[in-house]
Structure 1
Amino acid sequence: MKRHEFLRGLHQASANRNYLEIGVNDGRSLTFSRVPSIAIDPAFKVVTEIRCDVHLAKATSDDFFARENPLQHLKGGRHPLRNIARNRSPFGYWREVTLDLSFIDGMHLFEYALRDFINVEKHSDWASVIVFDDMLPRNIDEAARDRHTDAWTGDVYKVIEILNRYRPDLVTVLVDTAPTGQLVVFGADPTSTVLQDNYDEIMAEFNVPDPQKVPETILERTVAVKPEALLEARFWKPLVHARDRGTKRARGLEPLREALKQLGDAA
């Protein structure tokens, strides 16, 4: 299954109520959205028809998330309450919107992808679906930080090890999509500052010159699940139900973790 086909399947499986995308390029991945969306790219050149209510932000993702109330287009932030109990806060304002589905496909260097995750996680929760693109380079050359090939993933594959080491509370699933794989992350915690607190330490270890030492498990995709298996998994309906009911992280995450573990064991 190709990456865009998988992304389209995620829109359906997650029944997402909103969508955020980092790295628009020509807009192909944005065509799948039918919900209020935000798309961020400093140099987008959309050439395809978009059929959703979208805010196209011509900015770097760092600059975008530095704005006051960056997700205002999705009806979030601190706005006067209307008579909708589920959005009520004790201060008489709308609660900030929570992202349901986010796609990170920006600059192909691990530190950019990591900062994108840090920023997206602040607006997500345990039931949010966060997707990284280009996580399974096919050879060492594709994984170079200094691009010298037509097809290029860069070294964003390092995000897998970083999240597994520093954020074992997250649930990460590598997916064997064509051509260069994806990573799906569940279990976001908007209160976590672990990655920010350890950013300098992470940079010191992982920012190394080419050639990169890509693990064999990445090159051979031995730990990646089939995209069809993930999209057809039975946990989606309970996940969506728990998300829409506002189920707390402590109660909702463990059943999801166990379901995804079984999926990985069956791969």
Structure 2
Amino acid sequence: MDRHGFLRHLHRVYKPRNYLEIGVNDGRSLALSRVPSVAVDPAFKVVTSISCDVHLVKATSDDFFARKDPLLHLRNGRNPFRALARRDPVNLLGGDPKLELSFIDGMHLFEFALRDFMNVEKHSRWSSVIVLDDMLPRDIDEAARDRHTNAWTGDVYKVATVLRRYRPDLLVVEVDTKPTGVVVVFGANPESTVLKDSYDEIIKEYVVPDPQQVPEEVMVRKNAIAPEILLGADFWRPLSRARDLRRGHSAFGPLRKRIEAVGH
């Protein structure tokens, strides 16, 4: 299954009520959304029919998140879920909207992808789902910071390593999608400042010249699970329900165990 097939099925099983995409390119992944969406890319060239209420932002993701109210569209745009307004008035009709499904596929350099994750997490809940693309390079050349191959992931694979090291509270799942894999992150905590506080230290250690020392287990996808297994797991319905009912972070514990058990 390729990344677009994975995203298509993810929309179906998780049923997000909004969607954020960083890195639009030709719009093929954005075309999978049917909910209010925000899509950010400094040079998008959408050639695909889009079937959602979308705010296309021609800007870098750093500039986008620096705006006073970057997710204004998700609060004030058309929303097919107004029947749920009494249950979730902050998320649907006012206040600070929280992202439910986010897809990060921007600049293929570690520091950019890490900042994208940090910014997305600020606008998410524990029940949100954050997907990062191009996380499983197949060889060292593909993972180079200085692009010299047709297929190129850059060194964004390091984000998973950093999240596991600095944020063990998160659950980071590698998924064996074609061609270059994705990582799905569960348990976001918008109150965490760990990555922000450690950012300079992290950059100093992980931003290094080519060639990159890609771990063998990443290239052979030793810890990656099949997308069909993750998408077919039984935790999606309770995760969506917890999201819709805005359950507190304490509800993540039992669900985390169910997610961790997938593929084992």
* Deviation (angstroms), 1:140: 0.4
Aligned twin of 2:141: 141
TM-aligned CA deviation for residue 221 of structure 1: 0.3
> Take 1:46 and 1:52, find their aligned partners in 2: how far apart are those partners?
14
Counterpart in 2 of 1:200?
200
- Correspondences of 1:117-156 after superposition (within 5 Å): 117-156=117-156
Displacement after TM superposition at 1:86 (Å): 3.7
Q: Does residue 11 of structure 2 align to residue 7 of structure 1? A: no
1:58-207 alignment, distance < 5 Å: 58-75=58-75, 84-87=85-88, 94-207=94-207
Q: Describe the superposition over 1:61-105 as per-residue Cα deviations: whole angstroms up to 9, x where unpaired.
A: 0000111111010016xxxxxxx544567xxx9321111100000
Q: Quick check: 1:36–1:74 contact (8 Å CA) kept in 2?
A: yes
Residue in 2 aligned with 1:51? 51
Give the counterpart letter for 2:99 in structure 1: L
Task: Give the deviation of 1:260 after TM superposition.
Answer: 1.6
1:17 correspondence with 2:17: yes
- 1:25, 1:43 within 8 Å by CA — same for their partners in 2? yes
SS, match of residue 202 in structure 1: helix
Q: Retained in 2: the 8 A contact 1:34–1:52?
A: yes
User: Where does residue 253 of structure 1 map in the other structure?
Assistant: 252
Q: What is the TM-score normalised by the length of structure 1?
A: 0.93
Aligned residue identity for 1:157? Y
Amino acid at match of 1:47: V
User: In 2 relative to 1, CA 127–222 (structure 1 residues): closer, same or farther, beyond 3 Å?
Assistant: same
Q: Is there any run of 5+ residues in structure 1 with no aligned partner, and where? A: 77-83
2:139 is paired with a residue whose SS is coil
Mark the CA change 1:87 to 1:229 in structure 2 (over 3 Å): closer, same or farther. Answer: closer
The count of residues paired between Structure 1 and Structure 2 equals: 256
Which residue matches 1:81?
Answer: none
Q: Which amino acid aligns with 1:34?
A: R
Q: Kindly provide the CA deviation profile for residues 110-153 of structure 1, in whole angstroms up to 9, marking residues without a partner as x.
A: 10000000100011011100000000000000000000000000
Q: Contact 1:26–1:45 (CA<8 Å) still a contact in 2?
A: yes
State the AA in 2 paired with 1:42.
Answer: P
Contact 1:13 1:236 in 2 (8 A): yes
Inter-partner Cα distance in structure 2 for 1:86 and 1:111? 38
Q: Which residue of 1 aligns with 2:223?
A: 223
The one-letter code sitting in structure 1 at the alignment partner of 2:197 is D
Which stretches of structure 1, 4 residues or longer, exceed 6 Å deviation after superposition?
none
Q: Secondary structure at the match of 2:173?
A: strand
What secondary structure sits across from 1:174 in the alignment? strand
Deviation at 1:255, TM superposition (A): 1.5
Residue-by-residue CA offset, 1:215-244 (whole Å, 9 max, x unaligned): 011011010010000000000001111111
Aligned to 2:81: none
Q: CA RMSD in A?
A: 1.6
Partner secondary structure for residue 221 of structure 2: coil
Residue 87 to residue 261, structure 1, CA distance change in 2 (3 Å): closer
CA distance in 1, matches of 2:244, 2:224: 29
Q: Residue 87 of structure 1 contacts residue 95 of structure 1 at CA under 8 Å; is this kept in 2?
A: no
Q: Distance in 1 between matches of 2:134 and 2:255?
A: 24
Distance 1:230 1:248 in 2: 24
Residue 74 of structure 1 aligns to a residue in which SS?
A: helix
